């Protein structure tokens, strides 16, 4: 959940570290810190609060040197205070450590170290590592780090810098992500690719159980037992500009506007005119597809909401039973995996701890794993048998938007392809869906033109206490995502309901003036939705409908309508969510919140 940055080279390390932390701040933003080797000693600067507090601190008291480490924190152990911020050091200030993850046995290690005379400055689990390394150090930093790591249990990505051996950084990874950036006479380390983009696109992913020794000349990767691991660098195709705000006030708004382009990228080269879909990275053998008995869609947060849509599409188009599961639930519920099964793990980052754990569980039970993800080289891609990239480009805002849309497109293509191969879709329908997919980027652009209307609605409802979202079928899944977006960034209480469930309880909360967003894009349940709209109107609700632009009847029943262009009902979630994203964004803006970094949340949840 935290962001890690490291640099060793010929340039001044501090601006590079701060720039990297700025790009990683989405991973955690309750405190930040840096440590730089000045040529004589290690200097640490750290501060609770947003990164700008650290920036103020270092401008008042700069540190200079060509090797250093930086950290932006999302607290798990110890409150977000100055002293709990990373880096943490040993008793004598010769060793500094930054860490992302949790050392599960830290209390026991801390007591043991305490008894041996170590003095602790913080309440964190991380600090024990610095003291363990201090104790084990006998002139060989790598060895001392190996020893410390062998004592720690849990998830970690750590980076160590020591004034004993200031010509290197040592990094280890167990579960939490860590990437090395390779340059000419300089090397970087970061938790995620966007932090490296201004400097290099040649990267190497450190994998679980590996240690990387980083010097100005490059990197040497070994296992924790010391065996050398040979790796080829990966060339990243994202460019630095893609990870900048590009004139938008927030990454979230930029990413909402990037959606037509992102949809185009996701589709590019994958649809051919003969009705075939080529999913590069997915090679499900014919016999497997024929025998496939069940598909499990596994994910967290917004990706789970994409999974709910995926379940519907898969069952409808391929006639294979499908189930969407929250990864954090599935992994503990003893799932019944019999026969030929496929687990589709959906994760923007490819690093969400619960999703990875669920994948391992399903793999152990004999399921094939197909990953739908955005990040090349992420842990999920290495756990999976097949990988379908959503190609959304870097998503920085904590509230996911373009990744959700492109996940939906990836799932639609997968469902169509499985349906085609199992001969479950008539040709005519298949062609109509492919045509519909090709039209989506243009139609998404049309929906974005409704932004001024959505802004007006947001101004009107920004100060409401509760906002409800209702829908049926696929619209219910979209309602859930719309409600989550609103909660995440505007902090307005909101619930999503299957419209038919309203009268079984929640209708009691619908009173005069309460806003209800009604999604009305599913033609087969449209009549039922109209009744549900009447139900809430009769209780005084203010109803905002998202409906096809040719649906005059809905428009005549509700207080406001946000029209979307007509599409196949199976594709409508891809358009219907866009006004809800914009609504959440503008409500949060009206309420003056920090939109890209909402309270208590992080972009990538790499702890369980």
**Which chain residues interact with ligand G6P by CB under 6 A?**
300-303, 347-349, 352, 355, 398, 400, 601, 603-605
Task: Report whether the peptide linkage leading into residue 148 is cis, meaning its omega lies within 30 degrees of zero.
Answer: no
Reference 531, options 508, 563, 569, 499; nearest CA is 499
Q: How far is CA 501 from the centre of its chain?
A: 31
Least distance (Å) between residue 91 CB and ligand G6P:
37
Residue number with CB closer to ligand G6P (326 or 498): 326
196: left (phi over 0), alpha (psi -120 to 50) or beta: alpha
Least distance (Å) between residue 384 CB and ligand G6P:
13
Residue number with CB closer to ligand G6P (242 or 432): 242
Residue number with CB closer to ligand G6P (420 or 603): 603
Q: How many CB atoms lie within 10 A of CB 539?
A: 15
Tokens 């803006």 locate to 589
Residue number with CB closer to ligand G6P (197 or 327): 327
Tokens representing 242?
């893609």
Give the sign of the dihedral formed by CA 284, CA 285, CA 286, CA 292. Answer: negative
- The DSSP result for 273-320, as a single string, is TTS-B--TT----HHHHHH--EEEEEE-HHHHHHHHHHHHHHHHHH--
Interacting residues of 458 by C-beta distance below 8 A, sequence separation 6+: 582, 583, 585, 586, 587, 589, 590
Active site positions, annotated = 2, 603
Residue number with CB closer to ligand G6P (400 or 572): 400
Biggest CA pair distance of the chain: 79
Distances (CA, A) of 506 to 198, 421, 481: 50, 42, 18
Residue number with CB closer to ligand G6P (144 or 375): 375
Interacting residues of 460 by C-beta distance below 8 A, sequence separation 6+: none
Using CB atoms, what's the residue nearest to ligand G6P?
Answer: 301
Integer Cα distance of 434 and 50 in angstroms: 46
Q: How far is the first Cα of the chain from the last one, in angstroms, to the nearest whole number? A: 10
Least distance (Å) between residue 211 CB and ligand G6P:
26
Residue number with CB closer to ligand G6P (187 or 349): 349
Question: How many CA atoms, within 13 angstroms, populate the side-chain half-sphere of residue 392?
Answer: 29
Distances (CA, A) of 483 to 324, 339, 399, 469: 18, 37, 12, 6
Q: Catalogue the E-assigned strands of 84-242.
A: 88-89, 95-103, 154-162, 169-174, 179-182, 187-190, 202-205, 210-215, 218-223, 234-235
Residue number with CB closer to ligand G6P (252 or 433): 252
Tokens representing 465?
């206490």
Tokens representing 262?
């992102």
Distances (CA, A) of 112 to 98, 116, 146, 413: 21, 7, 18, 55
Residue number with CB closer to ligand G6P (80 or 183): 80
Calculate the CA dihedral of residues 373, 379, 384, 387 and round it to 10 degrees: 30
Residue 541: enclosing H or E segment and its boundaries?
none
Q: How many CB atoms lie within 10 A of CB 129?
A: 28
Residue number with CB closer to ligand G6P (236 or 358): 358
Residue number with CB closer to ligand G6P (373 or 412): 373
What are the backbone angles phi and psi of residue 248, rounded to the nearest 5°? Answer: -80, 150
What are the backbone angles phi and psi of residue 572, rounded to the nearest 5°? Answer: -60, -30
Q: How far is CA 379 from the centre of its chain?
A: 13
């Amino acid at each position: 959940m935290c962001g890690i940055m490291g640099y060793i080279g010929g340039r001044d390390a501090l601006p590079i570290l701060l720039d990297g932390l700025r790009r990683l701040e989405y991973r955690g933003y309750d405190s930040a810190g840096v440590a730089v080797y000045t040529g004589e000693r290690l200097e640490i600067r750290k501060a609770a609060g947003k990164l700008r507090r650290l920036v103020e601190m270092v401008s008042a008291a700069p540190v200079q040197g060509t090797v250093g480490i930086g950290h932006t924190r999302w607290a798990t152990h110890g409150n977000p205070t100055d002293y709990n911020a990373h880096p943490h050091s040993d008793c004598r200030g010769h060793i500094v450590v930054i860490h992302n993850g949790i050392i599960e046995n830290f209390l026991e290690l801390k007591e043991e170290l305490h008894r041996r005379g170590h003095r602790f400055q913080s309440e964190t689990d991380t600090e024990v590592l610095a003291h363990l390394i201090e104790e084990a150090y006998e002139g060989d930093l790598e060895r001392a780090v190996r020893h410390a790591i062998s004592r720690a249990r849990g998830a970690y990505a750590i980076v160590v810098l020591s004034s004993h051996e200031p010509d290197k950084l040592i990094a280890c990874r167990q579960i939490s992500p860590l990437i090395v950036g390779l340059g000419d006479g300089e090397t970087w380390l970061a938790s995620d690719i966007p932090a490296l983009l201004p400097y290099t696109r040649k990267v190497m992913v450190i994998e679980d159980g590996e240690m990387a020794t980083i010097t100005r000349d490059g990197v040497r990767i070994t296992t924790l037992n010391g065996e050398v691991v040979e790796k080829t660098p990966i060339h990243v195709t994202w460019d630095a500009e893609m990870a900048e705000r590009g004139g938008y006030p927030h990454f979230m708004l930029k990413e909402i506007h990037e959606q037509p382009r992102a949809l185009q990228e996701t589709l590019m080269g994958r649809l051919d005119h003969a009705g075939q879909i080529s999913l590069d990275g997915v090679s499900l053998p014919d016999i497997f597809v024929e025998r496939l008995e069940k598909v499990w869609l596994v994910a967290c947060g917004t990706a789970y909401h994409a999974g709910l849509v995926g379940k519907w599409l898969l069952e409808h188009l391929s006639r294979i039973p499908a189930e969407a599961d929250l990864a954090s639930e599935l992994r503990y519920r003893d799932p019944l995996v019999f026969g030929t099964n496929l687990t589709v793990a959906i994760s923007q980052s490819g690093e969400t701890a619960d999703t990875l754990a669920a994948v391992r569980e399903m793999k152990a039970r004999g399921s094939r794993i197909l990953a739908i993800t955005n990040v090349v080289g992420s842990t999920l891609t290495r756990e999976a048998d097949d990988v379908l990239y959503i190609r959304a480009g870097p998503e920085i805002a904590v509230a996911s938007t373009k990744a959700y849309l492109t996940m939906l497109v990836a799932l639609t293509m997968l469902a169509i392809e499985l349906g085609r191969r199992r001969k479950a879709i008539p040709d005519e329908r298949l062609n109509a869906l492919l045509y519909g997919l090709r039209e989506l980027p243009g139609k998404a652009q049309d929906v974005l033109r409704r932004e001024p209307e959505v802004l007006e609605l947001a101004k009107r409802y920004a100060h409401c206490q509760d906002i409800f979202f209702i829908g049926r079928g696929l619209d219910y899944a979209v309602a859930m995502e719309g409600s989550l977006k609103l909660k995440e960034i505007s902090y307005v209480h909101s619930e999503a309901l299957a419209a038919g469930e309203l009268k079984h309880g929640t209708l009691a909360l619908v009173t005069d003036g309460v806003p209800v967003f009604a999604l009305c894009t599913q033609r087969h349940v449209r009549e039922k939705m109209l009744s549900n709209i009447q139900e809430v109107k009769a209780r005084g609700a203010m109803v905002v409908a998202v409906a096809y632009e040719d649906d005059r009847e809905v428009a005549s029943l509700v207080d406001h309508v946000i029209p979307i262009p007509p599409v196949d009902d199976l594709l409508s979630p891809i358009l219907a969510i866009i006004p809800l994203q914009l609504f959440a964004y503008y409500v949060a803006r009206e309420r003056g919140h920090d939109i890209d970094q909402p309270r208590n949340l992080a972009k990538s949840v790499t702890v369980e």
